[in-house]
C-alpha cells in the first residue's frame, strides 16, 4: 500500500513557493529601494568594527562614529572608481589606432568573404550601409538608456550611502527588535544568527577585496611583461569583473583581447588569453578556496543558480549580491530546526560538518547503514 505525505506538508510547500514568487516579484518591482538597502546592510556589517573602534577607543558618539566610518569607506570606494575612470580616459589617445586596426580587420574580412562566397565588395558595403543607417535610431535609444543608467547609478550611490549610515547607527535598535519579535527560548539563536551573519559577511567582503587585489596584481605583472599597453587599466577591469564567479573572467578576457588587438599584435592577444586562463586556474584552485571559499560554504551548483536568478531579477547588481544573500540565507537555515536540511543542501558535501552530524544522528540504523555504505564506495 502506498504511503502519502500528510496534507499539511503540501500546504506548507505551496505556501513557501507562493511566498518565494511574491518576494521575487516585489524584489523585481522595488529594485530601486531593495538593492541599495541590501548594499547598505552589507557595507554596514563591514563597517561595524571601525565604528566600534571610534566609539570605544576614541569616545566618539555613535552618530559621529557612523558618519566618519561611512565617509571614509565611500571615500576609498570613490577614489577607486576615480582611478578606474582616469585610466579609461587614456584610451582616447589610441582611438585612431583602434579605428585603423578595425578597418584593416574589416578589409581582410571582406576579401575573405569575397573569395569564399563570391559576394563582391560593393554588395558587402551596401549591406553595411543599410545596417549602419538602422543603427542610428538604435544608437539614439542607447544614448537615452545610458543617460537613464547614469542617473540610476547616482541614485543607487546616494541611497546606499544613506542606508549604510542609518543601519550602522541603528544596528543595536534593529537587534533589539529581532529579540522582541521572537520567543524567549529562541533569543539565543537570534543572537547567534546575527553574530554569524556579521562574521561571514565581513570576512567574505574582505576576502573579495583581497582576491580582487591579488588577481589585479597578477594580471598587471603578466601584461607588463608581455608588453601590453594600459596594463594597469586592464588589470583593474579584470579584478572588478572577477568578483562575478564563472562569468567575470570570460567578460574581462573578451575586453582585454579586444583592447590588446587594437593596440598590439595578434600574437600578444594569444599570449594574453593564455596568461588569463592560467591566472584564472590559480585563482579558482588556490586564492578562492583559501581566502573567499572558506568564509562562505555554499556549493557551486547553488552559487551559479543564485547568480543566474540574481541577474534575471536585478541585472548586474543581482549578480554581485547573489552570493552574500545566499550565504545569509544558509546561516539562517542552519540554525532553524525545520530548515536545517535545506541549509545542508546549500552547503558543500562534507561528512565532518557539524550540521551533517546533527542530521545524521536523526536517522534510523537502516538509513545510517545505507549512507555509510555509499560513502565507503565513493
Instruction: List, in order, residues 6 or more apart from 197 with CB less than 8 Å away.
Output: 45, 328, 331, 332
For the stretch 163-177, pLDDT in tens is 999 999 999 899 899
Residue 19 CA to residue 25 CA, distance in Å, equals 10
Residue 157 CA to residue 39 CA, distance in Å, equals 10
Q: Look-up: residue for cell 575612470? A: 85
- Report whether 207 contacts 287 (CB < 8 A): no
For the stretch 25-50, pLDDT in tens is 777 777 778 888 889 999 998 899 99
Q: What does the DSSP assignment read for 104-156?
A: HHHHHHHHHHHHHH---HHHHHHHHHHHHHHHHHHHHHHHHHHHHHHHHHHHH
For the stretch 67-91, pLDDT in tens is 999 999 999 888 877 777 776 676 6
Q: Report the greatest alpha carbon distance in the chain.
A: 82
Residue 132 CA to residue 139 CA, distance in Å, equals 10
Q: Residue 3 corresponds to which cell in the numbers above?
A: 504511503
For the stretch 324-336, pLDDT in tens is 888 888 888 888 7
Residue 59 CA to residue 7 CA, distance in Å, equals 58
Which one is predicted more confidently, 189 or 358? Answer: 189
Residue 343 CA to residue 16 CA, distance in Å, equals 15
Residue 225 CA to residue 232 CA, distance in Å, equals 12
> Best-predicted range by mean pLDDT among 226-230, 240-244, 294-298, 324-328?
324-328
- Report whether 263 contacts 94 (CB < 8 A): yes
In this predicted structure, the answer to whether residue 142 has a pLDDT above a threshold of 70 is no
- Report whether 42 contacts 325 (CB < 8 A): no
- Report whether 283 contacts 211 (CB < 8 A): yes
Q: Is 51 left (phi over 0), alpha (psi -120 to 50) or beta?
A: alpha
pTM, two decimal places: 0.71
Residue 332 CA to residue 325 CA, distance in Å, equals 11
Amino acid at each position: 500500500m502506498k504511503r502519502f505525505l500528510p496534507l499539511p506538508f503540501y500546504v506548507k510547500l505551496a505556501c513557501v513557493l507562493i511566498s518565494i514568487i511574491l518576494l521575487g516579484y516585489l524584489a523585481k518591482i522595488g529594485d530601486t529601494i531593495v538593492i541599495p538597502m541590501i548594499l547598505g546592510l552589507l557595507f554596514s556589517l563591514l563597517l561595524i568594527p571601525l565604528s566600534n573602534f571610534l566609539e570605544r577607543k576614541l569616545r566618539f558618539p555613535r552618530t559621529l562614529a557612523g558618519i566618519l566610518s561611512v565617509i571614509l569607506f565611500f571615500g576609498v570606494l570613490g577614489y577607486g572608481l576615480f582611478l578606474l575612470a582616469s585610466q579609461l580616459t587614456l584610451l582616447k589617445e589610441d582611438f585612431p589606432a583602434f579605428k585603423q586596426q578595425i578597418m584593416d580587420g574589416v578589409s581582410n574580412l571582406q576579401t575573405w568573404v569575397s573569395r569564399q562566397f563570391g559576394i563582391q565588395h560593393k554588395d558587402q558595403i551596401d549591406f553595411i550601409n543599410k545596417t549602419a543607417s538602422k543603427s542610428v535610431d538604435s544608437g539614439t535609444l542607447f544614448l537615452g538608456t545610458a543617460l537613464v543608467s547614469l542617473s540610476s547609478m547616482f541614485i543607487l550611490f546616494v541611497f546606499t550611502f544613506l542606508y549604510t549610515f542609518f543601519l550602522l547607527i541603528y544596528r543595536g535598535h534593529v537587534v533589539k527588535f529581532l529579540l522582541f519579535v521572537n520567543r524567549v527560548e529562541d533569543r539565543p539563536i537570534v543572537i547567534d544568527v546575527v553574530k554569524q551573519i556579521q562574521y561571514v559577511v565581513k570576512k567574505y567582503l574582505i576576502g573579495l577585496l583581497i582576491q580582487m587585489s591579488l588577481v589585479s596584481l597578477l594580471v598587471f605583472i603578466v601584461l607588463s611583461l608581455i608588453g601590453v599597453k594600459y596594463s594597469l587599466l586592464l588589470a583593474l577591469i579584470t579584478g572588478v569583473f572577477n568578483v562575478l564567479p564563472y562569468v567575470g573572467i570570460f567578460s574581462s578576457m573578451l575586453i582585454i583581447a579586444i583592447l590588446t588587438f587594437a593596440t598590439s599584435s595578434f600574437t600578444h592577444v594569444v599570449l594574453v588569453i593564455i596568461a588569463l586562463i592560467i591566472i584564472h586556474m590559480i585563482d579558482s584552485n588556490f586564492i578562492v578556496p583559501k581566502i573567499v571559499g572558506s568564509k562562505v560554504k555554499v556549493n557551486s551548483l547553488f552559487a551559479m543558480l543564485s547568480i543566474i536568478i540574481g541577474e534575471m531579477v536585478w541585472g548586474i547588481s543581482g549578480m554581485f549580491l547573489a552570493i552574500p544573500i545566499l550565504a545569509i540565507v544558509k546561516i539562517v537555515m542552519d540554525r532553524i530546526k525545520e530548515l536545517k536540511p535545506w541549509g545542508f543542501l546549500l552547503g558543500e558535501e562534507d561528512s565532518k560538518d557539524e550540521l551533517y552530524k546533527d542530521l545524521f544522528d536523526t536517522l534510523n540504523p537502516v538509513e545510517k547503514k545505507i549512507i555509510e555504505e555509499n560513502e565507503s564506495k565513493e
